[in-house]
Structure 1
Amino acid sequence: MKFDLHTHHDRCGHATGKINDYIVSAIKAGMQVIGISDHSPYFAHEHDQPKPGIAMARSDFPNYIAEVLRLKDKYKDQIEVLLGVESDFYIDQIDLYRSAYEPYPFDYIIGSVHQTRGVSIFNRNRWKGKDEAEKIDEKKHYYELIRHSANSGLFQVLGHIDAMKGYFPLFANIPGAESEIDEALKAVAANEISIEINTSGSTKTVGGWYPSDVLLERALHFGVDVTFGSDAHIPERVGDEWELVQKRLREIGFSRWVFFRQKQKVIVPL
């Protein structure tokens, strides 16, 4: 069974194509399940859409839900469409985000740490002028937030858990955060959620998937489930490298991966 839980569309302001385009692309790619998971609004901000190039307007969120549900019904005989969202994780705003999602019938919610200490994880400049100790501290803090997101009870999937390497590949080689990484993975396993293998790293400087094989091997050791997400921002990337990821997971030693329907884990043998 082929599935992809991580897709975006033009509502977020930095992807192209409509939701319908991503569903059609998934059908053409031979997928049985497609998840729609655009970026959450900034629910805590005073403005309706403070960053139009990053996330949808808060007022548009109900329209997003309604459109996915309409298309879910339209394509029910061709493909299963799942209602998802990629949610920012801000530790001090978790209850606000929880209440914002509560009214809607989500199949799953992806929790992603996109900022630490108010700076984007993809900001190359955040590393300038930092010595080794400061870099280690930043990496530890990142994985502490990921651990908290796993323990929040809000998410079924944790998104791109080493994406800080996206535009700073040396992030992967910063030592000293092994304990924080392991504690984050243990939290994922304990909460019976999953991490995604996200193939969008191939579109960034790092040129590979998230997470690295090293992290996937640790995830397997701790009994962490994995899922697949292309993180497609253009329709043509839906399901990108799905077969290669499947093959690599088998080589590492995984025997299954999962997706979520009505927040319940669906196990798919590898």
Structure 2
Amino acid sequence: MRSDYHNHLEKGTLTLDYLERFLHEAKEKGIEEFGISEHAYHFYQTKDILRNPWVDERRYYDMNDYVSLFHQAWEKGYNLKMSIEMDYTPGKHKEMEKFIQSYDFDYVIGSVHWVGDFGIDLAEYRKEWEIRDVKDVYEKYYDQIVTLAESNLFHIVGHLDLVKIFGYIPKDKDFLLEQYERATDALAKSKTCVEISTAGLRKPIGEMYPDPELLQMCFNKNIPIVLSSDAHEPEHVGYEYDRAVDFAKSIGYSSIATFNKGKMKMQPLT
């Protein structure tokens, strides 16, 4: 079983023709479980959850059109999972829960992209890393990972150590491992899976998410995994999946989680 649960249509259109390009790529690469998980901030229905100038300029979809697209695909017989990737937003648990429960998602990805007003993975904010305290950013980032897990609103946490994307990593190894420990402790007590994401191979850091030591902690604490490419264009679906599978197996994983209408099922990792 191979799955790819983290994919975006935002560089194209919410049309069946564009979606079919992703589905075709998934079929070509032997991916049996495929899902689209567009960024929630693009939708008008999330304007009461995450607001800032960068996000507000990019809020241009309606959830009715999104859901309709999945129904068009299902009517044509496609095996397609409906999901969303939601920016975990502290202080907005009720609003996030209301939004999530309003739609019949197969699974929901929760991710941390913002530390306060700092878009940690955005090229527009990259220079901010030079003037901020890296340890402070990491601590606040993992604070959110912990409360994301504790909220139990999400089935999957996206790119668990995204904060390393530009290669800014605390030199204090004990501090870093402490962040990993508290994040995985919280995840182990939740329903939240962790994704092995090959997207980091396409980013400045040049390595998968999560870090091997972090993934080893996940395995040791029995936290399930899913596979993801975080594709924003069709050709990146299933990107470098052989490396992802080898990585998972090297840590000790032999199964992955799959989802259907919010219910998890474990499948052999092949």
Structure 2 length as normaliser, TM-score?
A: 0.87
Aligned length: 255
C-alpha separation between the residues in 2 aligned to 1:12 and 1:208? 26
Which runs of 5 or more structure 2 residues have no equivalent in the other structure? none
Structure 1 partner of 2:235: 236
Amino acid at match of 2:253: F
C-alpha separation between the residues in 2 aligned to 1:173 and 1:71? 48
C-alpha separation between the residues in 2 aligned to 1:46 and 1:247? 39
Structure 2 partner of 1:24: 24
C-alpha separation between the residues in 2 aligned to 1:36 and 1:98? 20
Which among 166, 169, 172 is matched to residue 171 of structure 1?
169
Would the aligned equivalents of 1:115 and 1:121 in 2 still touch at CA under 8 Å?
Answer: yes
Instruction: Give structure 1 regions of 4+ aligned residues with deviation exceeding 6 angstroms.
Output: none
C-alpha separation between the residues in 2 aligned to 1:209 and 1:141? 22
Deviations 1:61-115 (A, max 9, x none): 2211221232133134xxx210101111111122112212212110000000010
Any residues of structure 2 matched to 1:111-260 within 5 Å, and which? Answer: 111-122=110-121, 123-130=125-132, 134-167=133-166, 169-171=167-169, 173-175=171-173, 176-260=175-259
Cα pair distance change 1:46/1:148, threshold 3 Å: closer
Any residues of structure 2 matched to 1:52-67 within 5 Å, and which? Answer: 52=58, 56-57=59-60, 60-67=62-69
C-alpha separation between the residues in 2 aligned to 1:11 and 1:107? 23
Amino acid at match of 1:69: H
CA RMSD of aligned residues (A): 2.1
Cα pair distance change 1:245/1:266, threshold 3 Å: same
Deviations 1:132-191 (A, max 9, x none): xx3222211111100111111210000001111112x13264531433321211221211
Which runs of 5 or more structure 1 residues have no equivalent in the other structure? none
Amino acid at match of 2:75: D
Would the aligned equivalents of 1:198 and 1:209 in 2 still touch at CA under 8 Å?
Answer: yes
C-alpha separation between the residues in 1 aligned to 2:64 and 2:81? 16
- TM-superposed CA distance for 1:197, in Å, is 0.8
Cα pair distance change 1:223/1:180, threshold 3 Å: same
Identical-residue share of aligned pairs (%) = 26
Would the aligned equivalents of 2:134 and 2:170 in 1 still touch at CA under 8 Å?
Answer: no
Structure 2 partner of 1:50: 56
C-alpha separation between the residues in 1 aligned to 2:209 and 2:165? 9
